[in-house]
Amino acid sequence: MFFPVSGVEINPLIPPLVAFIVSSITASAGVSGAFLLLPFQVSVLHYTSPSVSPTNLIYNIVAIPGGLYRFIKEGRMAWPLTWVVSIGTLPGVFLGSWVRIEYLPDPRSFKLFMGGVLLYLGIKIITEFTGGSKKQKAQNKALEQKFKERVAKIKAESNQKIAAGLPADAVVKTKSFSMTKIEYEFWGETYSFSTVTIFTLALAVGLIGGIYGIGGGAIIAPFCVSILGLPVYTVAGAALAGTFLTSIAGVIFYSILAMTAVGASANVAPDWALGALFGVGGLLGTYCGAYIQKYLKENIVKVIMAALILFLALQYIVQFFL
Q: For the chain, what is the mean pLDDT? A: 80
- The Cα–Cα gap between 52 and 83 comes to 27
- The Cα–Cα gap between 38 and 26 comes to 14
Please, which residues have CB within 8 angstroms of residue 162's CB and are 6 or more apart in sequence?
Answer: 151, 154, 155, 294
How many C-beta atoms lie closer than 10 Å to residue 233's C-beta? 26
**Domain parsing of the chain, residue ranges:** 10-321
What does the angle CA 206 – CA 306 – CA 166 come to, to the nearest 5 degrees?
Answer: 85
Confirm whether pTM is higher than 0.85.
Answer: no
- The Cα–Cα gap between 45 and 120 comes to 25
Look at residue 148 in the predicted model and tell me its pLDDT: 67
Helix (H) or strand (E) holding 9: strand 8-9
| CA-wise closest residue to 200 among 173, 231, 172, 227 | 227
Look at residue 89 in the predicted model and tell me its pLDDT: 82
Q: Which residues pair with 173 in a beta bridge?
A: 185
Q: Which residues pair with 306 in a beta bridge?
A: none
Look at residue 20 in the predicted model and tell me its pLDDT: 97
The residue type of 70 is: R
Please, which residues have CB within 8 angstroms of residue 302's CB and are 6 or more apart in sequence?
Answer: 29, 125, 128, 129
Dihedral sign from CA coordinates of 29, 216, 117, 279 = positive
Look at residue 17 in the predicted model and tell me its pLDDT: 96
Q: Are 305 and 26 a contacting pair, CB within 8 Å?
A: yes
Query: Which of the residues in the chain have pLDDT under 50?
Result: 162-164
Task: Determine phi and psi for 72, rounding to 5 degrees.
Answer: -65, -45
Q: Are 32 and 282 a contacting pair, CB within 8 Å?
A: yes
The residue type of 10 is: I
SS3 85: helix
